[in-house]
Chains A and B, each alone.
Chain A
Amino acid sequence: NAGVMQNPRHLVRRRGQEARLRCSPMKGHSHVYWYRQLPEEGLKFMVYLQKENIIDESGMPKERFSAEFPKEGPSILRIQQVVRGDSAAYFCASSPDGNIQYFGAGTRLSVL
């Protein structure tokens, strides 16, 4: 059973471009979480999804950010019109039951 796969591992974007971060959960896991980590800081909750549904997006900025977890395919975190302040590591985690989370290696987004 492969672990949580995130791609790309590193993503460089210029200000104003779009960033798409992908997360393939572990097989059989229907719960997906997205977090943002800034250097020397903890993980900040962004959004929690179950298949095709956003359950809690209270940690996600209201503008420019969106997330989805379609019936088929990976979960996507989309950031439109990126700004320098979006530079961070974005981690995805999946869970079979909403308790223990299994984390991917993260996507490091750099905005130039």
Chain B
Amino acid sequence: AQSVAQPEDQVNVAEGNPLTVKCTYSVSGNPYLFWYVQYPNRGLQFLLKYITGDNLVKGSYGFEAEFNKSQTSFHLKKPSALVSDSALYFCAVRDGRGTYKYIFGTGTRLKVLA
């Protein structure tokens, strides 16, 4: 069965500092991994994905994520946080064997302090 864990409900970081939002996953086959961001009263917006290829994936708004197969992790990172990055971040996974069912994590609220 697929599962995703986002161990931190909230992450606080000072503006200009690097940020990391953690995600670990479990799938039977090859993982397709995604990060989405949600602003208040809005739908989710796609940030980046890993399906195959380089383990370091670059996405929108300066975000990147590293796929680590041995640790089954896909942590979201950004070298320098902005106040406008404050939002709810979701990690999602699907099993690449063919099912299109996605499992989302419970979300991590990122708060960037000025």
Contacts and interface: CB of A to CB of B under 8 A. Distances in A.
Partners in one complex: yes
Contact of A99 (B32, B42, B44, B101): B32
A89 B100 CA distance: 22
A103 B41 CA distance: 12
Interface string B73-114: 000000000000000001000000001111111110000000
Given A42-B104, A42-B106, A43-B90, A56 B99 contact: yes
A56 B100 contact: yes
A48 B49 contact: no
B90 A48 contact: no
Given A48-B100, A100-B49, A42 B90 contact: yes
Interface residues of B, number: 21
A101 B106 contact: no
B61 to A, nearest CB: 16
Interface residues of A, number: 26
Interface of B: 32, 34, 36, 41-46, 49, 51, 90, 99-107
15 contacts: A4-B43, A31-B100, A43-B44, A45-B102, A56-B100, A56-B101, A58-B101, A93-B44, A99-B49, A100-B34, A101-B36, A101-B46, A105-B41, A105-B42, A106-B41
Interface of A: 4, 6, 31, 33, 35, 41-45, 48, 55-56, 58-59, 91, 93, 98-106
